[in-house]
Every structure is written in C-alpha cells, then in structure tokens.
Chain A
Amino acid sequence: MSEKRDYIYIGILIATVSLLPFFLTNDYYLHVLILIGLHTIIVLGLNLLMGYAGQISLGHAAFYGLGAYTSGILTAIYDFHPVFAALIALLFVGLIAFVVGIPSLKLRGHYLAIATLGFGIIISIIFNEMKLAPKGTDLPMGGPEGITDIPKLYFLKYSFGLDNILPVKLGQVTGLSNVVPNLYAFNIVFDTDLKYYFIVWIFALLLLIISNNIIKSRVGRALRALHTSETAASTLGIDIQKYKLSVFVLSAFYASIAGSLYAHFIASAGPSSFGFHKSIMLVVMVVVGGMASIWGSIFGAAFITLLPEFIDALNNSVVKIQPELFYIFEDFDIIVYGLILMVILIFMPEGLTKGIVDRLKGKFSK
C-alpha cells in the first residue's frame, strides 16, 4: 500500500467514525460501537505480534484484564486520577509482559501458544479468587463480581475559572451540546456513551496510525524477516529475541490501554470478561480480519463483536413469528458462532477480508 492510499483510507475512516453516531437510531448501537473500538485496539496490537512477528498468544485477554483491573482498583478504591491510573496500569502490564515474555518467546510454535494459554488462565483464576479490602462501608471487592463502582473517565475536573473569562461555549455555538459541552476539551467528564465513543475511537485511530508507521519502518521489515525465517533474519544482524520481546510488550500496551478504557466505560471489571474464551475470541478476530492486515483488524473486531448481535436479532425475528421456539433459540448463538468460525477457517484460512477480496478478483478475472 502506498503512503498516499494510506492517508486516503485513514481519512475515510475518520469521516466514517465521526459521522456514524449521527445515523444511529438506538443508543445500544453506540455501546456496541464502543466495544468494537476497544476490540480494535487490542486486535491491532495482537496482529503486530501474530501477523507480523509470527508469534501466537492465547492469553492476551490477561493483559486486557490486567489493564482494566489496575485502572479499576486504583480509581475505585484508592481514588487515583483515571489518567494517572491508566499510566500506572500501562507500566505494570508492560512489566508483566516483559517478565513473561523473556522465557515464553524463546519457545516456538505450539509451545509459545501453550505457555501464553497457561499464563492467561492463571491470571483469570487470580481475578476470580482475589479479595480486596473493603472501601469504607462497602462490601469487599474482587472475586467473581470483580471491581465495581469505577468512576467515569475525565482528564481535568477543574475549569481554572476559564468559564468566566471565555463565556462562549462551543457546544452551544455548534449545536452539538451533548458532544462538546464547552470550549475546554480537557474539562470533559466522559459521562455519556457518545463522548466515550469518540475518545475510544480517537485512541483506536492513533494506535492504528502508530501500527501503520511501525510496520513501514525498519522495525516492521525486521519483524517480517524474522517471521519468514529466524535464522536468515539473525544472520542479517537482527536481534530476534529483542524484536520479539518488544512487539510482545507493545501488544500488551495496546491491550492495557483498551482495558483501562473498558473499566471506565463499563464502570466495573469482572473476571468473566477476561478469561480463556476472551483470549480465543481476540485471536479469532485477528484471523478473521486477516493476519498481517492492519485494516483487517478493524474488520475482524467489528465482525466478531457484531456476530452475537446479528444472531440475537435473527433469534428475535424468529421468535416473533413462532414464540414457542424461544427456548430452542435462546442459546443458539454459541452454535452459530462455532459454525462460522470453522467455515471461515476451512474455506478462507487467510481471513475474511482477504478471502472475499480474492473471491471477487477471481470472479472478475473470469
């Protein structure tokens, strides 16, 4: 992809992301779009690891969860500032990824998959079992219920009296009062889904641009080289272990950012959101979107996040016609999920994005 085309794509994406909320008829869709944004962030990082460096991680939900838990515990129990808490979470998750990564990344293929799987399950068991000291008169947090009462995200809560100096409020001028409440962007408390949607997608876009720059740089070429052949790469002077570890830590950073954003969005963080199943779903998003495809990451995240919603909608329409079928269709989504997973991987092992594009090309050339 040429650089010019990248800019065009990024432009189209920014336009889509900023206009999409105004076409939504239902608040719930906004909620789903925020989840897609969060998943996109993790999948972008995981795709750097899987698609470009060729290392599989079956435990990435652990980093996502550690980010969410660290942010949640620091803000809900110790009253840290959300940004400060998120930065601490980032460093903490990075450190854990570093420590786990050193021995794990010496392993290859299946063994790396197994090690990351083991790590992910251990972390999810810790989430499930840990008990934290009660805050004030509240019940102790942790355990299966997880961390609750996490405050909303904000950057600055104080207006420094600028409200009086500059009385013009951008929100009133533009008429978008629920998007931009006043002139001082940093004064926003992200208390509505719409504001949250924008902050999540701003992060997603920034990280997408960062990923795009990384793979175009020397680092990206080094990663692809070690993916193709580690021996060849090391004879060319590429420090394999250093590069693998850097990408692993970087992908954990991405997951941690998504985790912190998730914690403030849902206002709670429970163990069930960060278990083995989630790790698998993240890998599936990468594979469905297409390995080594940055734009595929968005697609994969969107497709897999929307899938249960589609199945749900389908259920509802079936149940409307035949109400007695409700009990049969209640848990139908998991079957369709498994089925779609298998079908995609059997017939389009390079991901849905590439698979569809290749099919279309095949049709047109005939």
Chain B
Amino acid sequence: MFSLFLYFFMSFFDQLLQFFVSGVTQGSIYAIVGLGFTIIYNSTEIINFAQGEFVMLGAMFMVTFNAALGLPIPISFVISVIAVLIIGILIDLLIIRPVRKPTHISLIIITIGASIFIKGVAMLAWKKDYHAATPFSGEKPISIGTAAITPQALWVIGITCVVLVLLHLFFEYTDTGKGMRASAINPKAASLLGIRVKRMVLISFALSGALGAVAGIIIAPITFAIYNMGVMLGLKGFCGAVIGGLGSVPGAIIGGFALGVLEAMGAGLISSAYKDAIAFVVLLLVLFMRPTGILGKGEMKRV
C-alpha cells in the first residue's frame, strides 16, 4: 500500500519536474518578449502590439537563412537579429514619429495596424505553412534526474540568461543605456541634460526588435515557425510584463518565467484545453488585486 502511494507520489513529482522544465523554457520566451514591451513602454509609454511580429520575423528569417539558404546557424542567427532590428528602427521612423497628435488610443491602434501589416506581408512571403527550423545541436533529449530536456530547451534557457546579463550590463554601464533609463524616468529633464530623447526612442525600438528576433529564433526549432505565431507569444509576453509590473525590467523577467511555469503546471494538472486562458486569468487577477503588478511602482499614472 505504502509503496503504491510512494510510486504515485514519485511519478507525480516526476511530472511536476517535467512541467517545470517546459514551463521555464516557455517562460524564457515570455520574459524576452515582455522585456521588449517594457523597453518600448519605458521610453515612449506605447504598448507596442507589433512586438509579437518581431518574434515571428526572427523565426521566419532564421528558417529562411538557415534551412532554405543553407547558411550556418551562427551566421543566420546574427543576420536575422540585424534584419528585425532594422525593422524595429523602421517602425519608429516611419510609423511612430510622423503621428500628428499622439494619444494613447491612437498609438495603440497604430502599432496594431503595423502588426496586421507585418503579418500580412509575412503571409505573402512565407505562405500559410508551418516551417521547421533546425535545432542548434541535435534532438536527443538529455535527462536531468527523472525529467528529460531537449538540447534546444537548454539553448533557449542559456541564451535567455546571456541576453539578460548583456541587457543588465548595457543599462547599468553604458552611456546609451543610462541615457535610456534617464529619458524613461523624465524625458524633459533628460533632454535638458543633453540626452537626445528621440534617439533613445529609436534605440529602444531597435533593441526590442532584436530581442523579439532572438526569442523567435531560439523557440522556432521547438514550436515551428508560421506567419501568425507572433500573436499569442506577443500577448503572453505582454501578460508577463504586466503581471510583473508594467515598466519594470526585473518585473518583466519574473512575470515571464512565472507565467511560463504556471501555464505548464496548469496545462498539465488542470486542463490543457484552457492552457491559453491561464495567462489571461492570472493577468486579470493581478490587475484587480494589485494593478501595478508584482514589482510595479506603487503609484499609478493618471492618464
């Protein structure tokens, strides 16, 4: 009797571990996407609904350069990131800057328009098919204790950690990073100190584009790449950022990972049909109980 119980307990524990591993993998993507939202939100107060399309573009470029054109993985990685970075810059120059009377609602809808446009172009360019991306190093699962993890999931977690460290260094120790933080806190004061706020906005769009691309490139071998993959990834990364506290960089990271793990646990233990709903239920609960998120600043802004 006891051994039977132990058996069930152990297998339950194994399952939990497995869910946790896949949750952390998915959470890495949410964290990176959420960071992209946060960086643009901090410099412009815009919620960039095209963030998910950056992810899709990263994955699509990677598939094209690596699988279709046969370039080696590291080179395709870099080219894809640069390509999406340029698209990020173009969005700021062509779409955000020319807006005559920017209001919250009109800026939100403009980024939605950009997202629809990019999705449409991607649909024409890559059709409505699923594209397989090559995993970075084989497909043989590695077992950690009782849970198995694919090499690609390790790449996802590893690259996410590297990206987070690089971002931290950028914001803490470079003049540009410090300038971006300053103009996020107070654009007027920052411009009085000689910081070119417009350029900071441009850099934030470039950075978000690059971040989104990285997320798409590393997740593509796990989930396949398709023209509409950005919608849910973008929205959930955004959920993570809001759960952690909109505008907070550590918040976006913690929120993203928390969301990934919660989602994997919920899908495994409660219902996989409602997996996509979990993120949004958590989002509403957080908003209603603590609107500023886990790590958000105490005071809410009047609009």
A interface list, Cβ under 8 A from B: 50, 56, 103-104, 106-111, 113-115, 117-119, 121-122, 125-126, 129, 276, 280, 283-284, 287, 291, 328, 331-332, 334-335, 337-342, 345-347, 349-350
Contact = CB atoms under 8 A, between A and B. Distances in A.
Given A119-B284, A122-B277, A335-B124, 9 more contacts: A111-B246, A113-B47, A121-B277, A126-B277, A129-B274, A334-B120, A335-B120, A342-B113, A347-B98
Chain B interface size band reads 35 or more
Nearest to B108: A113
Given A122-B277, A129-B274, A345-B110, A339 B100 contact: no
Contacts of B161: none
Contacts of B274: 125, 129
A345 B120 contact: no
B140 interface: no
Contacts of A50: 105
B113 A349 contact: no
Given A108-B303, A342-B95, A349 B242 contact: no
20 contacts: A56-B105, A103-B288, A110-B303, A113-B108, A114-B283, A115-B283, A117-B235, A122-B280, A129-B274, A276-B231, A332-B124, A334-B119, A338-B114, A339-B117, A341-B113, A342-B113, A342-B117, A345-B109, A345-B113, A347-B98
Interface in B206-242: 231, 235, 238-239, 242
A129 B273 contact: yes
A337 B109 CA distance: 12
Contact of B300 (A56, A111, A117): A111
Interface of B: 45, 47, 95, 98-106, 108-110, 112-121, 123-124, 231, 235, 238-239, 242, 246, 273-274, 276-277, 280-281, 283-284, 287-288, 291, 300-303
A219 B287 CA distance: 29
B227 to A, nearest CB: 10
A347 B100 CA distance: 6
Chain B residues touching A, majority SS: helix
Contacts of B273: 129
Contacts of B239: 118
A358 B99 CA distance: 17
Contact of A287 (B105, B115, B119): B105
B116 A115 contact: no
Contact of A350 (B101, B238, B284, B300): B101
B264 to A, nearest CB: 17
B285 to A, nearest CB: 10
A287 B117 CA distance: 18
Q: What are the 6 tightest A-B residue pairs by CB atom distance, in nearest-first order? A: A338-B117, A109-B303, A341-B113, A338-B116, A335-B120, A334-B120
Contact of B291 (A107, A122, A129, A287): A107
B95 A125 contact: no
A229 B117 CA distance: 35
A235 to B, nearest CB: 15
B124 A331 contact: yes
Contact of B99 (A287, A339, A346): A346
B302 A110 contact: no
Nearest to A336: B120
B274 to A, nearest CB: 6
B287 A111 contact: yes
A349 B119 CA distance: 23
B291 A341 contact: no
Contacts of A56: 104-105, 108
Contacts of A125: 274, 276-277, 280
A303 to B, nearest CB: 14
A115 B120 contact: no
Nearest to B235: A121
B280 A283 contact: no
Most A CB within 10 A of own CB, among B105, B274, B283, B302: B105
A275 B119 CA distance: 17
A274 B9 CA distance: 42
Contacts of A291: 105
Contact of A346 (B98, B108, B284, B291): B98
Contacts of B277: 121-122, 125-126
